[in-house]
Amino acid sequence: MLKSRIIATGSFVPEKILTNRDLERMVDTSDEWILERTGIRERHVVSKDESTSDLAAEAARQALKSAGLKAKDIDLIIVATCTPDMFFPSTACMVQHKIGAVHAAAFDINAACSGFLYGLSVADKFIRTGTCTRALVIGAETLTRFVDWEDRTTCVLFGDGAGAVILEPSDDESALLYTHIKSDAEYWDYIQIPGGASKEPASKTVLEKRSNTIRMKGNETFKVAVKTLETLVVDTLEQCNLKPSQLALLIPHQANLRIIQATAKRLGLSMDRVMLNLDRYGNTSAASIPIALDEAVRTGRIRRGDYLLLEAFGAGLTWASALIKW
């Protein structure tokens, strides 16, 4: 059976940076608290005239350039996002238009912070079945558009950005070896934007209550995330008959340094084998893994033949993993 492999990566973050010191002037918080509890120092924030599809399109252009391909060579575009430009058309269609990928089918996936790995898993199936031959999978978010800037428990956490990969059928050992996706909606209300959609349509009341912004039971989410991810990474390696010592790099979703450290500890991995960039970007939800992957590629941290483990956890609740032989 055909397998898929990642042939190129790209990423893009908006220019404007918001530091912890900047946040100290906006809410009752401190650089020390944010750094100690999350590992975040600063995050990038979209400007007034930028939207999710702008970031996604730029990440896509970078990936196409790295691959030496034209947009018309792409036959599938999947954008993982929970902060789309609008309800419809999909952000993937907006990206298709912006880059000129005229031969592609385009659709969005929403699995919150796990979205990119859900997208990767779906694109992999399209390639394995021969339904498409060149897939562009993007994780792109503008979470800062949906935070309550008066709520210190959430506004310090999130940032904006996009990352992209291009998948092709693989004719050698370099391949996406395994993906796993799972949801458990028992805790659906742990992370949500309750208002502004069909359940509670946009209204004056929604704006007054700010229910069109992110609500998170942070500590409860933290506990489920640590427990779930510890099992997820061990199971993923077992499925591929690999030992933690064979892993070159763990590329985790960048939500909280303490969650990432707990996952690495469970595998017995030293932190130099873990890709970290949340200090500079904060939690960019579905964009965090492809941004980190692109950075790892561009800084020479990944070599051909390396085993990479990608994992994510987010609203839904959802979680996912992928094992790649580069």
Q: Is 121 helix (H, G, I), strand (E, B) or coil?
A: helix
The least CB distance from residue 219 to ligand UT7, in Å, is 4
| Residues within the interface to ligand UT7 (CB under 6 A) | 29, 33-34, 37-38, 113, 152-153, 156, 218-219, 221-222, 225, 255-256, 259, 283, 313-314
Whole-Å CA distances, 323 to 52, 146, 178, 236 = 27, 32, 5, 7
* Strand locations in 56-159 (E): 76-80, 105-109, 135-142
- 35 or 240: CB nearest ligand UT7: 35
Which residue number, 253 or 325, has a Cβ lying nearer to ligand UT7?
253
The residue (of 61 and 152) whose beta carbon lies closer to ligand UT7 is: 152
Distance of closest approach, residue 7 Cβ to ligand UT7, in angstroms:
28
In the bound complex, which residue of the shown chain has the CB atom lying closest to ligand UT7?
Answer: 218
Note if 97 is an active site residue.
no
Annotation marks residue 283 as catalytic: yes
CA-to-CA dists, residue 139 to 9, 150, 281, angstroms:
12, 27, 14
The letter for the amino acid at 86 is M
Q: Which of 82, 93, 113, 155 is catalytic?
A: 113
User: In the numeric block, which tokens belong to residue 160?
Assistant: 């904006």
Cα-Cα-Cα-Cα dihedral of 119, 223, 247, 268, to 10°? 180
Nearer to ligand UT7, 45 or 255 (CB): 255
Q: Least distance from C-beta 289 to ligand UT7, angstroms? A: 11
Neighbours of 144 (CB within 10 A): 21
Report in angstroms how near the CB of residue 121 gets to ligand UT7 at its nearest. 18
Q: Which residues participate in catalysis according to the annotation?
A: 113, 253, 283
